Amino acid sequence: MHNDDFLTDPQSLVIHGDLDWDNPETDDTALAPAIYPASTYSARDSAEFAEMANQPRHPRYYARYGNPTQERCERLLARLEGAEAALLMSSGMGAMSTTLFSHVRAGDHIVAQTTHYMGTAKLLTDLLPGMGVEVTLVDQRDPAAFFKATRDTTKLIVLETPSNPTLTLTDLAAIAEFARSRNITTLADNTFASPINQRPRDFGVDLVLHSATKYLGGHSDLIAGVVCGSRAAVEKIWARSIVLGTNVSPFNAFLLLRGLRTLPMRVARQSENALALGRFLEAHPAIERVHYPELESHSQHALAKRQMQHGGGVLSIELKGTPGDASGFQAAKNFVAALKLAKHAVSLGGVETLVVHAASMWEATLTPEQMQRAGIAPSLVRIAAGLENAQDLCTDMEQALRR
């Protein structure tokens, strides 16, 4: 029992949960955490130096190994995900690559989804196979496909839910239960949902990963990533992180902690805005379909209700084609260009609403078949709702659709 186990509400937790209440010596009367820019820390004597050098994750030894600002931020992140420990890293991809490299070597096998964040997909289909790691990709909607794909050499199952860009879901409980029975580690990218809308650990997932650049930071002003899990698992990933050099900067750990103070309030508002936009757009004559887990029209709505609090801040829409533009590609391009409030930019989770037209974004990178497989319809527009007034956002979309 810890001194602050009463901190169960997320909004109270993000205000107070970074302090170590069981160890008053580490407490700080300054209400904002200090930023430690030091690259190295001195020892008072050789016994202390030996302790600094040999204790895993010592926060005052050498800054690639960690620092006190980072440690405070990690304490809060672990508790938000219901985990024992967390490791903050340089970016979401830094966290993903370090976590993958700490679980597999040549000859091992990974089961993952056909749809992942583009950087993760590149690691799974290019970098790791090039190093002798075998990867099988399966349809995330079918838990049995994960079971069937496992082999004796399977070390890791990689999940991402909801996934980009069609907000498709993966059944966390079903896959985690199976993986546990086979001693296979599960890793879930929880970036889109945030710990406010979904806690994969509650469904038995071992490791939870975030691009902290998105909802956790929340202000489009930092790049960071985090992985949460048992103390032993996080220590193992840390041992890889210090040689891969994927450490977070102390300043970004400070910014992230500042962003986290308002996470539950921000995500609640973003989820409300996304749902309001989803309902408005679903009823609009220029819209073919809306992808959003909290809408009854989503094909996995029942699963969304089982594992998510709300649908999150991201939705995607497909515009209707016209006789001269059957696929709606041009209509989507025009729509994005005509928006006044929503900004045309990649990323999500910030205070401002962002939109991207996926097909024009990937036109130079992906073949039409690859796009189809990734669920990118020519007229698909991803909307990451910000904190603006919902009616203002609907008005902006309405005027852009009227053009």
**Which is the catalytic residue, given 189, 206, 333, 396?**
189
Q: State the nearest-atom distance from the C-beta of 190 to ligand PLP, in Å.
A: 8
* Structure-derived torsion over alpha carbons of residues 150, 112, 213, 71, reported in degrees to the nearest 10: 10
Full DSSP string of 169-237: ---HHHHHHHHHHTT-EEEEE-TTTHHHH--GGGGT-SEEEEETTTTTT-SS----EEEEE-HHHHHHH
Applying CB under 6 A, among 99, 115, 168, 211 the residue interacting with ligand PLP is: 211
Q: State the nearest-atom distance from the C-beta of 200 to ligand PLP, in Å.
A: 13
Q: Interface residues for ligand PLP in 358-397 (CB under 6 A)?
A: none
Q: State the nearest-atom distance from the C-beta of 46 to ligand PLP, in Å.
A: 40
The region of 211-219, 285-293, 327-335, 361-369 touching ligand PLP under the rule CB under 6 A is 211-219
Q: Which residue is nearest to ligand PLP (CB)?
A: 92
Residues touching ligand PLP, count (CB under 6 A): 14
**Which is the catalytic residue, given 57, 199, 201, 214?**
214
Phi, psi of 26 (to 5 degrees): -90, -5
Q: Is 117 tagged catalytic?
A: yes
Segment 57-61 long-range contacts (CB within 8 Å, at least 24 positions apart): 57/235, 57/238
Q: Is 214 tagged catalytic?
A: yes
Q: Interface residues for ligand PLP in 167-196 (CB under 6 A)?
A: 189, 191-192
Amino acid at 110: I
CA-based nearest residue to 346, from 252, 250, 214 = 214
Q: State the nearest-atom distance from the C-beta of 168 to ligand PLP, in Å.
A: 12
Query: Token pair of 183, please?
Result: 């001693």
Closer by beta carbon to ligand PLP, 211 or else 300: 211
Contact between 162 and 314 (Cβ < 8 Å): yes
Q: How far is CA 325 from CA 70, 140, 321, in A?
A: 51, 32, 6
Q: State the nearest-atom distance from the C-beta of 52 to ligand PLP, in Å.
A: 30
Cβ neighbours of residue 326 under 8 Å, at least 6 residues apart? none
Q: Interface residues for ligand PLP in 118-137 (CB under 6 A)?
A: 119
Rule CB under 6 A: say whether 150 interacts with ligand PLP: no
Q: Interface residues for ligand PLP in 82-101 (CB under 6 A)?
A: 91-93
**Which is the catalytic residue, given 20, 62, 64, 320?**
64
Question: CA-to-CA distance for 325 and 30, rounded, in angstroms?
Answer: 60
- List residues bridging with 382 in a β-sheet: 316, 356
Rule CB under 6 A: say whether 117 interacts with ligand PLP: yes
Determine if the peptide bond prior to 285 is cis (ω within 30°).
no
Rule CB under 6 A: say whether 17 interacts with ligand PLP: no
Q: State the nearest-atom distance from the C-beta of 371 to ligand PLP, in Å.
A: 18
**Which is the catalytic residue, given 61, 117, 215, 292?**
117
Site string for ligand PLP, 213-242 (x = CB under 6 A): xx--------x-x-----------------
Determine if the peptide bond prior to 129 is cis (ω within 30°).
no
Question: CA-to-CA distance for 166 and 380, rounded, in angstroms?
Answer: 9
Residues that bind ligand PLP (CB under 6 A): 91-93, 117, 119, 160, 189, 191-192, 211, 213-214, 223, 225
* Residues designated as active site: 64, 117, 189, 214
